Amino acid sequence: MRTKYDLDASREGDRSQLSSESHPFVDPASAPRPLVYTPRDEPVKLSPAWEASNVPPEQLNFLDVTAEKLPDDEPPHDRCSLIYLVFVLHGIGTLMPWNMFITAKDYFVNYKLSEAHTGVVSEYATNFLPYVGFASHIPSVLINWINVFARMGGSLARRIIWSLCVITMVFIFTVILAMVDSSRWPGPFFFTTITSVVILNVANGIYQNSVYGLAARLPFRYTGAVVLGSNISGTVTALIKILSIAMAPNPRTAAIYYFITALFILLACFDTYFALPLSRFYRYHKLKSLRAGSEAHGPSTAVPYWHIFKKAFPQLLNVFLVFFVTLSVFPTVLADINMVDEDFFVPKQYFAAVLCFFTFNFTAMLGNLMPNLFVMPTPRWLWLPVVLRFAFIPYFVLCNYLPVHVERVTPVYINNDWAYWGMVVLLGLSSGYFSSLGMMYCPRTVEPQFASTAGMFGAAALVTGVCLGVQFSLVLSWFVQNVNFA
């Protein structure tokens, strides 16, 4: 049985064939090719409603549309918030390597480098965390700032892909080291681990900086999605730490699980990155950003870094100060604040894990979600609550802060566990909320074509605040053992 479509096609083919035969000057090679009727035995294929307009499939996601031909009608929507969730996942991935190394502290200090395992006493175990902190933060800060100005690895896409590959290889190597008996060579194991941490953070610095640059091309809340993911990463790590305390696993086995968990998350980040171009929403905003740059300055104009830095500087300073204050007290100070009331509802062995790590990371995650409900203050006045957060530093120092192997001489004025816990909640909420606002405001302070670069400046300011905040926490330890103003 011939359908109407098949009959029309057959007639069109006959007409095409006749026209080519009746006109000798028509090149047969350029003439329309006839449509020959063949019986169709397979069932009719149904197309989704959004393909009913007979648009070529590749055009549905703007794959054949250039920045100059981008339609100006209503932009597509992020269906089911899939792209938002992808950037949340990448936010988790940016901090997962660091969080997992810190979570595996017992594996390194009490197992691989311990006297019981190696048979020798060394400073490797005693100073492991300071060495890891130095090997992590210094390369991360340098690479973040270099990555803003130098196109290491080419475009943002290449930077993200290659950095994820390097991070994944480092974690595979770390899992292999965990399975190898290194009891007879603790020194080489230590230096190998520190070298892998340096390589890991160089790659992670490029990855983190590039992800923020990518998110800056999209609407306001997608930069906040990356910040939200980073705090979800901390919350997941805190839960793993609590579970490890409760179950008391072997440190080596626990560390392997930590590293494999991070490995799976990084592989998920790798896969979802390649899925981004399949989204109409993502490609629309990417082409819109490219068109804005082409219309304003042309494709060959150099990026005016100083102009971008000056316009974004107020928000860069806000981002820096938020993370400087936060990392000055978390986790170094908060983890060494001891319980005052033995009858407090949290057992002593869980006091730091629950009131410090879990409470802060969970409330910071909630703070990241708050800009989806309301946005205040405005960019002009964000500096005010950011500066007021400096009050957290003396407050926690005056709590029952007792650094390890340090004799405190500064009087303790806050002897209430509830008062301490309440301020940890405020610290986490304010850190998550104001860091999200600062990172979201940053790309909006410059012209649209420079939003990606401003987002990368914001990531560099974030990492710089983290690094200097961690270093300043050492000053607080010195303060409580040398200053007595009673």
Task: Name 401's bridge partners.
Answer: 337
Q: Which amino acid is at 183?
A: S
Q: Are residues 331 and 373 in the same domain?
A: yes
pLDDT cut 90: percent of the chain above it: 23
**Residue 14 belongs to what domain range?**
1-38
- Measured between alpha carbons, how far is 359 from 366 in angstroms, rounded to an integer? 11
Q: Are residues 447 and 472 in the same domain?
A: yes
Q: Are residues 196 and 315 in the same domain?
A: no
The CA R_g of the chain, rounded to the nearest whole Å, is: 29
Q: Specify if 63 maps to a domain.
A: no
Structure tokens at 219: 């609407």
Nearest CA-CA partner of 321 in 433, 462, 139, 429: 462
The pLDDT of residue 148 is 82
Q: How many domains does the chain have?
A: 3
The pLDDT of residue 24 is 42
User: What's the pLDDT tens digit per position in 457-479?
Assistant: 998 999 899 889 888 988 898 89
User: Is a pLDDT exceeding 90 seen at residue 50?
Assistant: no
Query: Do 203 and 163 meet the contact criterion of CB atoms below 8 Å apart?
Result: yes
Q: Specify if 74 maps to a domain.
A: no
Q: Are residues 425 and 447 in the same domain?
A: yes
Q: Are residues 310 and 350 in the same domain?
A: yes
User: Is a pLDDT exceeding 90 seen at residue 256?
Assistant: no
User: Is a pLDDT exceeding 70 seen at residue 29?
Assistant: no
User: What's the pLDDT tens digit per position in 132-147?
Assistant: 877 888 888 888 888 7
Q: Are residues 96 and 30 in the same domain?
A: no
Q: Specify if 70 maps to a domain.
A: no
116 by Cβ neighbours in 10 Å (0-12 / 13-18 / 19+) ranks as exposed
Nearest CA-CA partner of 240 in 216, 220, 223, 256: 256
User: With the CA atoms of 464, 468, 470 and 471 taken in that order, what torsion angle do they form, in degrees rounded to the nearest 10?
Assistant: 150
Helix 82-103 crosses helix 221-247 at what angle (to 10 degrees)?
Answer: 40
pTM: 0.69
Residue 433, number of CB atoms within 10 A of its CB: 25
Compute φ and ψ for 401, nearest 5 degrees: -85, 110
User: Is a pLDDT exceeding 80 seen at residue 453?
Assistant: yes
Q: Are residues 358 and 426 in the same domain?
A: yes
Q: Are residues 121 and 136 in the same domain?
A: yes
Q: Are residues 330 and 279 in the same domain?
A: no
Q: Which amino acid is at 348?
A: K
Q: Are residues 401 and 338 in the same domain?
A: yes
- Measured between alpha carbons, how far is 417 from 355 in angstroms, rounded to an integer? 9
The pLDDT of residue 382 is 95
DSSP 60-112: TTTTT--STT---SPPPP-GGGHHHHHHHHHHHHHHHHHHHHHHTHHHIIIII
Q: What mean pLDDT is predicted for residues 29-49? A: 43
Q: Are residues 320 and 356 in the same domain?
A: yes
The pLDDT of residue 389 is 96
The pLDDT of residue 15 is 46
Query: Do 364 and 429 meet the contact criterion of CB atoms below 8 Å apart?
Result: yes
User: What's the pLDDT tens digit per position in 349-360?
Assistant: 888 888 888 899
Q: Are residues 281 and 321 in the same domain?
A: no
